């Protein structure tokens, strides 16, 4: 029996130089909205065809270290009858799985949400590991409003993230811990930085209490960025400075990698901000790379249109964006 890599080895492999993660873990309802918005019918087969286009794109294995799948995809076979998980693993791309069950209203708060999915999680992790997953993802969501996120919302979500992370490590999976402060709102960059700091502090407190191995996990945060409706949008350099300042204050250097979400930034902005972060000449004890969903997929999805004849065009656009983001993860993107 070959021995499996350790958690720390898997975490480091996911963020090896110039590599990031493709988040292709949209739930059936989310991917259905994205397909329908482009006039594409959403069926188990069209969703499989779309994901297979991305996973089998030529020459991506040097750019994409891992792919996050969701429950439907991890059980699907490719058009040639190979499980999609094996297609990825065979190319040296590590398969992962989204395991949270989405958000519900948080009792005791007005308008805030809690991520659910802890019930039965040990057994689900066991099953996903047997299906080939080597890492997992759980997303907590925080919205910036007057007086929010509340301390209660931060603590409740941070505690759930810690319970998830420690269960993953018990089951031999690397947890990606994703606390997302949403871009929604008209707040300035400084407010996002402040909230992101409070959230990260709460999350690492709970991870510490739960004795999560920091070496065997990855953090997936938002960048510190202006709100979507802010009258003035901070520049890439300002985003980079604020993001690194808040991460330096709250993320222990034992964490091997920070993999940003794109969170609604368009694909060029997501590339440029990541590049600016890596170009900044300050201390950076972790790898800083991408775990993008929309920013990596949007161009390819647009080109595909649900038609087999467009697969090469979709793959080429996906490869190009992954190549740009890979360069940005090294601070070498040149527009």
Separation CA 263–CA 222 (nearest Å) = 7
Nearest CA to 217 out of 273, 277, 167 is that of: 167
Q: Token digits for 126?
A: 């066991």
292 scored as a contact of ligand 13P (CB under 6 A): yes
23 scored as a contact of ligand 13P (CB under 6 A): yes
Question: How many residues of this chain interact with ligand 13P, rule: CB under 6 A?
Answer: 10
15 scored as a contact of ligand 13P (CB under 6 A): no
273 scored as a contact of ligand 13P (CB under 6 A): no
Nearest CA to 113 out of 147, 154, 145, 146 is that of: 154
Residue (80 or 273) nearer to ligand 13P, CB: 273
139 scored as a contact of ligand 13P (CB under 6 A): yes
Least separation in angstroms between residue 80's CB and ligand 13P is 27
295 scored as a contact of ligand 13P (CB under 6 A): yes
Nearest CA to 324 out of 278, 284, 264, 287 is that of: 278
Q: What angle do CA 243, 292, 49 make, to 5 degrees?
A: 175
294 scored as a contact of ligand 13P (CB under 6 A): yes
Report the greatest alpha carbon distance in the chain.
Answer: 59
* Selected catalytic residue, list 26, 52, 178, 241: 178
293 scored as a contact of ligand 13P (CB under 6 A): yes
Torsion angles phi and psi, residue 232, rounded to 5: -120, 130
Q: Which stretch binds ligand 13P (CB under 6 A): 80-88, 197-205, 293-301, 319-327?
A: 293-301
For 164, the enclosing helix (H) or strand (E) is: helix 151-170
33 has catalytic annotation: no
140 SS3 class:
strand
DSSP summary character for residue 82: -
The CB-nearest residue to ligand 13P is 293
Separation CA 127–CA 307 (nearest Å) = 33
Least separation in angstroms between residue 29's CB and ligand 13P is 14
263 scored as a contact of ligand 13P (CB under 6 A): yes
Separation CA 129–CA 131 (nearest Å) = 5
* Selected catalytic residue, list 19, 98, 137, 220: 220
Least separation in angstroms between residue 263's CB and ligand 13P is 4
Q: Which stretch binds ligand 13P (CB under 6 A): 109-117, 208-216, 261-269, 314-322?
A: 261-269
Which residues contact ligand 13P by CB under 6 A?
23, 139, 178, 261-263, 292-295
Which positions are catalytic? 178, 220
């Amino acid at each position: 029996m070959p021995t499996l890599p350790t958690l720390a080895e898997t975490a480091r492999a996911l963020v090896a130089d110039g590599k990031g993660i493709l988040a292709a873990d949209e739930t059936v309802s989310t991917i259905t909205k994205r397909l329908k918005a482009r006039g594409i019918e959403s069926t188990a087969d069209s969703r499989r065809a779309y994901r297979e286009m991305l996973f089998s794109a030529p020459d991506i294995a040097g750019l994409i270290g891992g792919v996050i799948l969701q429950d439907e995809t991890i059980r699907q076979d490719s058009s040639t009858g190979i499980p999609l998980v094996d297609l990825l693993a065979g190319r040296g791309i590590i398969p992962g799985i989204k395991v949270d069950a989405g958000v519900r209203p948080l009792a005791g708060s007005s308008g805030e949400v809690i991520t659910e999915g802890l019930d039965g999680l040990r057994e689900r992790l066991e099953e996903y590991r047997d299906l080939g997953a080597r890492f997992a993802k759980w997303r907590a969501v925080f919205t910036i409003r007057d007086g929010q996120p509340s301390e209660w919302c931060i603590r409740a979500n941070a505690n759930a993230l810690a319970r998830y992370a420690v269960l993953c490590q018990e089951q031999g999976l690397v947890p990606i811990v994703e606390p997302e402060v949403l871009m929604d709102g008209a707040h300035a960059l400084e407010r996002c930085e402040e909230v992101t700091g409070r959230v990260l502090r709460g999350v690492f407190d709970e991870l510490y209490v739960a004795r999560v191995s920091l070496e065997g996990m990855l953090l997936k945060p938002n960048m510190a960025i202006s709100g979507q409706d802010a009258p003035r949008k901070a520049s890439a350099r300002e985003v980079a400075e604020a993001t690194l300042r808040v991460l330096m204050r709250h993320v222990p250097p034992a964490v091997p990698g920070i993999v940003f979400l794109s969170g609604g930034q368009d694909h060029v902005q997501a590339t440029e901000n990541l590049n600016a972060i890596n170009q900044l000449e300050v201390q950076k004890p972790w790898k800083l790379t991408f775990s993008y969903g929309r920013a990596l997929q949007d161009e390819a999805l647009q080109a595909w249109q649900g038609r087999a004849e467009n697969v090469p065009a979709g793959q080429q656009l996906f490869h190009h964006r992954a190549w740009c983001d890979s360069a940005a993860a090294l601070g070498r993107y040149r527009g």
